[in-house]
Amino acid sequence: MSVKENKNRKIEAENLILTALKSPQVINLEEIMLLDAVKELKESSKELFNLVDIVVSSDMTNFKKELEKFSKLLEAHKVSK
């Protein structure tokens, strides 16, 4: 895969995650976490990947506590808490 294709794949995976965060009733985050392009974000977009990991795997108490760490990211992409 070329550098350009890798960059596009990363951007598309990031956009998919952001869309899923904005529309959880439409897109299942647990299912998209299985996609290779999304798994690759663990290295290339650590903050976004970690946010999704918390959404998917945390209990409510931990989720609320951890969510504050991602305030800037959420605001930058207009994702509501």
The DSSP secondary structure of 18-65, one letter per residue, reads HHHHH-TTTS-HHHHTTSHHHHTHHHHSHHHHHHHHHHHH--HHHHHH
List pLDDT tens digits, range 55-79. Answer: 999 999 998 899 999 999 999 999 8
**Which pTM was predicted?**
0.81
Q: If you ran DSSP here, which 8-state letter would residue 77 be given? A: T
List pLDDT tens digits, range 19-67. Answer: 999 998 888 899 999 999 999 999 999 999 999 999 999 999 998 899 9
Contact 18, 30 (CB under 8 A): no
Radius of gyration of the CA atoms of the chain, in A: 13
